[in-house]
Amino acid sequence: MAHQQLYLGIDCGTQGTKALILDAHSGQVLGQGAAEHSLISGANGRREQDTRQWLDAFALATRRALQAANVDGQGIRGIAVSGQQHGLVLLDHQGQVLRPAKLWCDTESTPQNDRLLALLGGEKGSLERLGVVIAPGYTLSKLLWTRDHHPQVFARIAHILLPHDYLNYWLTGRCCSEYGDASGTGYFDVRTRQWDTQLLREIDPSGRLEAALPELVGADQPVGTIRPDIAALLGVNPQARVASGGGDNMMGAIGTGNIQPGAITMSLGSSGTVYAYADQPRVSFDGSVATFCSSSGGWLPLICTMNLTNATGAIRELFELDLDRFNELVAQAPIGAEGVSLLPFFNGERVPALPHATGSLHGLTLDNLTQANLCRAAVEGTTFGLRYGLDLLRQNGLQSRSICLIGGGSKSPVWRQIVADIMNTPVICTEQSEAAALGAAIQAAWCVSLADGAAVSLKVLCERCVQLDLSSETLPVAANVAAYEPLYKRYRQHVATL
Cα–Cα distance measured from residue 419 to residue 481, given in angstroms and rounded to the nearest whole number: 10
- Contacts for 279 with CB less than 8 Å, ≥ 6 apart: 261, 298, 299
Burial 218-256 (b: 16+ CB within 10 A, else e): ebbebbebbbeebbeebebbeebbbbbbbbbbbbbbbbb
Q: How far apart are CA 280 and CA 254, in angstroms?
A: 17
Residues 6+ apart with CB under 8 A from 342: 311, 359, 360, 361, 362, 374, 377, 378, 380, 381
Q: Which of 114, 248, 391, 421 is catalytic?
A: 248
Q: Give 116's contacts (C-beta < 8 A, 6+ positions apart).
A: 134, 140, 141, 144, 186, 202
Q: What is the total residue count of the chain?
A: 498
**What is the pairing mode between strands 222-225 and 241-243?**
antiparallel
Cα–Cα distance, 410 to 428 (Å, whole number): 9
Instruction: Give Cβ neighbours of residue 426 (< 8 Å, ≥ 6 apart).
Output: 402, 403, 420, 473, 474, 475, 476
Asked if 324 is an active-site residue, the reply is no
Taking phi first (over 0 means left), then psi (-120 to 50 degrees means alpha), and beta for anything else, what does residue 318 get? alpha
C-alpha pair distances (Å), 404 with each of 20, 45, 420, 472: 20, 32, 11, 10
DSSP 412: -
Query: What's the rounded Cα separation, in Å, for the pair 188 and 141?
Result: 13
**Residues recognised as catalytic:** 248
